[in-house]
Amino acid sequence: MEAQSNIYTRAKAYVQAAIELLAGRVQRAEPERLLGLNEWVRTSESTFAVREIAVPYWHKAVRYHADALHALAEFQSLVEAIKADPLVARYFGVLAGTILVQRSFSIDEIADHLI
């Protein structure tokens, strides 16, 4: 339980540092609409509607500034905490899924998804 608490504390510190870094580099913008790509969105308890997929501006910011984000001391600290926990570390870099579709996740991907 202590290792998981340590990961949580370090993940929270990374997210806070990442947001501070990105806030100084990225201007707020409207979500980018992906023309021709739609998704179902709940509009009420019993109805759905088709809408264009919108990508928030910070998704691109995380990708464009990945090197700076991964250079943060808080990121390195989070990576160390994850690698030090055998229960969590064993899930990274391992293929998971079905026979037809398998994927592995890196610590970098998961950490960036937290932002």
Is 109 found in the same domain as 96?
yes
Tell the burial category of 44 from Cβ atoms under 10 Å away from its Cβ (0-12, 13-18, 19+). exposed
Whole-structure pTM value? 0.78
Among 37, 56, 75, identify where a domain stops: 56
> Higher pLDDT residue, 34 or 50?
50
For 105: left if phi > 0, alpha if psi spans -120 to 50, otherwise beta; the answer is beta
CA–CA dist 81, 71 (Å, integer): 16
- What's the domain count of the chain? 2
Supply the pLDDT for residue 42.
Answer: 95
Element at 34 (helix H, strand E):
strand 32-42
**pLDDT of 23-48, one tens digit each?**
999 888 898 888 889 999 999 999 99
- The DSSP H or E segment spanning 50 is strand 48-55
Q: Is residue 76 located within the same domain as residue 99?
A: yes
Q: What is the pLDDT of residue 17?
A: 97
Q: Which domain holds residue 107?
A: 2-25+65-113
Q: Are residues 107 and 69 in the same domain?
A: yes
Q: For residue 112, is pLDDT > 60?
A: yes
> Rounded distance, CA 70 to CA 88, Å?
20
